Amino acid sequence: MSQFTAPTILMCPPDFYGIEYEINPWMSRSRASDSKLAQQQWHALRDLLENVGAEIRLMPPARGLPDLVFTANAGLVWNNTVFLSKFRHEARQGETPLDEAWFQSIGFETVSMTGEWSFEGAGDALFCGQTLFAGYLIRSDAAAMQWLASQIGCRVIPLQLVDEHYYHLDTCFCPLSADEAIYYPPAFDEYAQAAISAHVENLIPVSESEAARFACNAVVIGRKVVLNTGCPELERELQDRGYEPHHTELGEFIKAGGSAKCLTLRLDGEDAAIWPGVEE
């Protein structure tokens, strides 16, 4: 069972955020982020999330770990357990002990993966209904996802990511409810595209230009959907389907390859998730 009664989101202030290394095609040390603007954009996102009904929990930022702001990558939350990430790139590996300590401090059980696998948390593992959709190849390994599903006792659908720009599943796939999701088809191999179509009843594909504005990297709180600016087609489509889109500019974080969803981690479980085996 979750210890939270309201939608609760983990964020980390961008005090030490910056482009200090290059581990995805969006990042270039020659395109530095403006720290004042990054602070403003992050605070505006936080305020917006609170306005649409989320409670925000903060973990302390740390010097030398500029991507710690992307809390989606801390781990995969399941009930009162968090499966901690094992980052592919050394530059981010120092985040995990801080994530572990934070989760323990609020009473979560933390699980570290054994095995030589990489796994980047809710960046690559997203529940839609009772099924865990799992992006692999670029940052997480398929074997890690299989192990995770065996621990949880759920069905896993491994999805191969084929475009380095969409290196985490949450950059190209966003569950909205148990049977509805936003996605960017060209980010997946053919088999993964077919698997998504077979397992998610209602799909909203986004255009190439809106995918590049991180349209799929949205935060869902009930029927409210928070995303970056510059995705008017998706916003219209969401409205037609009874959702309420809200946008806020996140350009300083796109420079690191992240947007709204990456900057958050839902601690009480996503709205689209039905956790298997939960005793009420």
Catalytic residue positions, numbered: 168, 262
Taking the C-alpha atoms of residue 27 and residue 33, their distance in angstroms, rounded to an integer, is 10
**Which residues in 80-99 contact ligand ARG (CB under 6 A)?**
92
- 238 near ligand ARG, judged by CB under 6 A: no
Which listed range, 19-27, 48-56, 143-151, 154-162, lies at the site for ligand ARG (CB under 6 A)?
19-27
**CB-CB contact of 225 with 234 (8 Å):** no
**CB-CB contact of 270 with 175 (8 Å):** yes
Bridge partners, residue 82, by sequence: 77, 110
Out of 7, 77, 85, 168, the residue judged to bind ligand ARG by CB under 6 A: 168
Q: Give me the amino acid identity at 202.
A: N
Q: Dihedral sign, CA of 153, 173, 243, 266?
A: positive
Which listed range, 94-102, 104-112, 152-160, 250-258, lies at the site for ligand ARG (CB under 6 A)?
250-258
- 271 near ligand ARG, judged by CB under 6 A: no
Using DSSP, state whether 77 is helix, strand or coil: strand
- 72 near ligand ARG, judged by CB under 6 A: yes
- 123 near ligand ARG, judged by CB under 6 A: yes
Pairing of strands 109-111, 131-136: unpaired
Q: Give me the amino acid identity at 124.
A: D
- 135 near ligand ARG, judged by CB under 6 A: no
- CB of 262 vs ligand ARG, minimal distance in Å: 3
- 245 near ligand ARG, judged by CB under 6 A: no
Q: Which of 37, 108, 40, 38 is nearest to 69 (CA)?
A: 38
Pairing of strands 202-205, 180-183: parallel
- 262 near ligand ARG, judged by CB under 6 A: yes
Out of 18, 158, 245, 257, the residue judged to bind ligand ARG by CB under 6 A: 257
Residues that bind ligand ARG (CB under 6 A): 23-24, 27, 67, 70, 72-73, 92, 123, 168, 170-171, 256-258, 262
